[in-house]
Amino acid sequence: MINAYHTLKTGGLESLRKAIRTGAYCSHTAGLGEGLLQANLAIMPEPYALDFMRFCQRNPKPCPVTGVSDTGKPFLHTLGRDIDIRTDVPAYNVYVDGSLQQSVTQITELWQDDFVVFALGCSFTFERALQNAGIPMWHIDHDKTVPMYRSNIDTVRAGPFAGKMAVSMRAIPEADIDTVVDVSRKFPLAHGAPVHWGDPASIGITDLAKPDWGDVVPVEKGHVPVFWACGVTPQIALEEARLPLCITHKPGHMLITDVAEDAESPILMSATC
Amino acid sequence: MINAYHTLKTGGLESLRKAIRTGAYCSHTAGLGEGLLQANLAIMPEPYALDFMRFCQRNPKPCPVTGVSDTGKPFLHTLGRDIDIRTDVPAYNVYVDGSLQQSVTQITELWQDDFVVFALGCSFTFERALQNAGIPMWHIDHDKTVPMYRSNIDTVRAGPFAGKMAVSMRAIPEADIDTVVDVSRKFPLAHGAPVHWGDPASIGITDLAKPDWGDVVPVEKGHVPVFWACGVTPQIALEEARLPLCITHKPGHMLITDVAEDAESPILMSATC
């Protein structure tokens, strides 16, 4: 799999999508598809879709919608010319009544005529922009997953969707905070500016060494913990809503789209639906 | 009414909303509520709401969603502490089977338990930013309505919603085009960067002197016609979809929200639904 990763990292989108579609590659997508927008995934039956879309609109920092399918159609024409969402994500999590039931590498047999697919922006986009601005990302340089925490910040409810906001943390040199805020604010579809920096306790995080998801990273002298709204938030809301069935990507295993990650809108100019 | 306008222009949000709510003021909102986000309005029965929200997601430049109500609830808690959408817009257009039936100053008697309210970003936001950047807006300085045209640019369909994109035109000195693009791009919830500048014919506009909506404005020597996606687009889509009933604001007569127009997200921090 390591060899496959390095081959795919330097190949084009076509070979990358083919490897994922055929099941030849089913691992994480960090660093793959350079320059292309990646997306979190949430799939649910249509009766829940309007409330979920309202939830995302009311919580745009953790849940920025970058694409939505027609009902029953596994395609996202505005995000890619030939995306088939049943096969084009490396791994999926299947939830039944709000509980994780299984992880799978394709969902062709699980597909339903009433499914609606949502693609949501992810942090890979602003992390790459921060690196380009000269801000090192410790977790990437050390091949770790960013630490994520359940904060005490309430999301704005829509129908059955509610819950606390999940946040991700990156330790930033104090002198670079303004730069980090300015750069990440330019990506409203990838969580935007941080929601908090400084004392973790003021957003309900009692111990940085005990993340709820991901790995522990150090906060070195002169660095400040900076917290961004996190794409795990919709998974919390989906679990709390206890939908009879919903499907997400497996964390870290994203949809790689055809759209440039610095595009003004996540819409292919040639899109027709 | 002129006196009322000037009094309201210098008063606070509370007196402004009260004047609109009671029907004491029912004219246009350009220049009112300085610094506050204004919004276009579209209200429709719930069976159409998911498709309309998909249409907006797929056409984010003409149709940026800034707020959406719960079904049957005339409130927009994320946009204002006490907004009642039945009374808090100066004038409304009522469409039956896709045709304008009447204009009214409140919709309390027309309200239905299955209505969903959408607020969409409007151009007032980026116009104010352009003026602050030293770019004069001829139509504002001459008390005219910006000229708007039906372009040949197709929107991306969602359910019954489709049609051509409407665009608004402002004549900009050639040397200022880069500034205008950079400034307006910072407001993705207010139509963002222009969709076109230069030859009007290349987006299907044959005569600038014959706008489809609004007033004629001159394109002086050394100026270039610059076109932005326009909030009339969802009205075209709503008309083409021939909904049995839908309600919009009367053009120019916007919802004035509690949210700052330069807020990163159009969400009140205290919002709960």
> A136 and A198 share a domain?
yes
The percentage of residues in chain B with a pLDDT greater than 70, rounded to a whole number, is 97
What is the CATH classification number for the domain harbouring B38?
A: 3.40.1640.10
Model pLDDT, residue B52: 98
Q: What pLDDT does residue A271 have?
A: 62
Position A243 in a domain: yes
Q: Which residue of chain A comes nearest to B154, CA vs CA?
A: A272
Interatomic CA distance for residues A14 and A116, integer angstroms: 25
Q: How far apart are CA B256 and CA B261, in angstroms?
A: 10
Q: Using 50, 70 and 90 to split pLDDT, how confident is the model at B10?
A: confident
The pLDDT, as a whole number, for residue B4 is 75
CA B136 to CA B164: how far, in whole Å? 29
Facing residues of B169 across strands? B227
- A100 - beta bridge partners? A95
**Boundaries of domain holding A88:** 2-122+237-260
Query: What is the predicted pLDDT for the residue at B273?
Result: 44
Tell me the DSSP string of A215-250: ------TTEEEEEEE-TTHHHHHHHHHT-SEEEEEP
Chain-chain contact of A185 with B272 (C-beta, under 8 angstroms): no
d(CA B76, CA B37): 13
Structure confidence at residue B112 (pLDDT): 98
B216 has a pLDDT exceeding 60:
yes
For residues B91 and B130, membership in a common domain is answered with no
Residues of A with CB under 8 A from a CB of B: 46, 49-50, 53-54, 57-61, 65, 67-68, 70-71, 77-78, 116, 154, 156-159, 185, 188, 192-193, 264-267, 271-273
Same domain for A23 and A71, yes or no, is yes
- Assess if residue B59 is contained within a domain: yes
Identify whether A117 is part of a domain: yes
Q: Determine which of A44-53, B3-12, B91-100, B229-238 has the lowest per-residue pLDDT on average.
A: B3-12
Any domain includes B271: no
Query: Is the pTM of the predicted complex or chain greater than 0.80?
Result: yes
Are residues B242 and B108 part of one domain? yes
* Nearest residue of B to residue A62, measured between CA atoms: B265
Rounded to the nearest 10°, the torsion over CA B22, B70, B265, A33 is -150
User: What long-range pairs does A19-25 form, CB within 8 A, spacing at least 24?
Assistant: A20/A87, A20/A88, A20/A89, A20/A90, A20/A256, A21/A84, A21/A87, A21/A88, A23/A105, A23/A106, A25/A1, A25/A90
Judging contacts by C-beta atoms under 8 Å, the chain A residues touching residue B60 are 265-267
The domain that holds A137 is classified in CATH as 3.30.2040.10
Question: How many domains does one find in chain A?
Answer: 2
Output DSSP code: residue B70: P
Q: Which residue of chain B has the CA closest to A155?
A: B272
Half-sphere exposure of A208 (CA within 13 A, CB side): 19
CB A118 within 8 A of CB A41: yes
Residues B158, A57: C-beta atoms closer than 8 Å: no
Are B247 and B209 within one domain?
no
> Same domain, yes or no, for A153 and A90?
no
ipTM value of the model?
0.94
Give the chain A residue whose CA is nearest to the CA of B55: A68
Closest chain B C-alpha to A78 CA, distance in angstroms: 7
Distance in angstroms (rounded) separating the CA atoms of residues A19 and A86: 14
Asked whether residue A213 is domain-assigned, the answer is: yes
Per residue in A25-53, pLDDT tens? 999 898 899 889 999 999 999 999 999 99
Asked whether residue B71 falls in the same domain as residue B204, the answer is no
List helix spans (H) across chain A: 2-10, 13-21, 49-58, 124-132, 138-141, 177-185, 233-241
Instruction: Kindly state the average pLDDT of the residues B33-39.
Output: 92
Same domain, A42 and A132: no
Q: Which of A49, A77, A158 sits opposite B273 (nearest CB)?
A: A158
- The reply to whether B133 falls in a domain is yes
Task: Give me the helix-helix angle, B13-21 and B2-10, nearest 10°.
Answer: 150
Nearest residue, CB atoms, B78 vs list A58, A70, A159: A58
Q: Are A252 and A213 contained in the same domain?
A: no
Whether B38 shows a pLDDT value over 90: the answer reads: yes
Kindly give the parts of chain A with pLDDT less than 50: 273
- What does the alpha-carbon distance between residue B207 and residue B114 come to, in Å, rounded to a whole number? 42
Q: How far apart are the first and last CA of chain A?
A: 36
Query: Which of B46, B60, B185 lies nearest to residue A267, judging by beta carbons?
Result: B60
Q: For testing the chain A interface, which of B44, B52, B55, B57 should be mutated: the one with the most A CBs within 10 Å?
A: B57
Query: pLDDT digit string (tens) for B155-184?
Result: 999 999 999 999 999 999 999 999 999 999
Which of the residues B265, B267, B270, B272 would you substitute to probe the A interface, choosing the one with the greatest number of A C-beta atoms within 10 Å?
Answer: B265
Q: A138 near A217, Cβ under 8 Å? A: yes
Q: For residue A3, what pLDDT is reported?
A: 61
Separation of alpha carbons A92 and A191, rounded Å: 22
Report the candidate in B80, B89, B98 with the shortest Cα–Cα distance to residue B41. Answer: B89
Residue B268 lies in a domain: no
In a domain, B151, yes or no: yes
Do residues B139 and B105 share a domain? Answer: no
Inter-axis angle of helices B124-132 and B177-185, to 10 degrees? Answer: 130
Q: Is the domain of A116 the same as that of A21?
A: yes
Q: Average pLDDT of B208-228?
A: 96
Give the chain B residue whose CA is nearest to the CA of A47: B50
Query: What's the pLDDT score for residue A110?
Result: 98
Nearest to B264 among A50, A78, A193 (CB): A193
Q: Which residues contact A117 (CB under 8 A, 6 or more apart)?
A: A41, A42, A43, A67, A68, A69, A74, A76, A85
B99-128 average pLDDT score:
95
Those residues with Cβ within 8 angstroms of residue B212's Cβ, 6 or more apart along the chain or in another chain? B148, B149, B150, B166
Q: Give the model's pLDDT for residue B252.
A: 87
Same domain, A86 and A155: no
Contacts of A137 (CB under 8 A, 6+ apart): A127, A130, A131, A170
* Dihedral angle over CA of A27, A29, A33, A36, nearest 10: 150
SS3 A138: helix
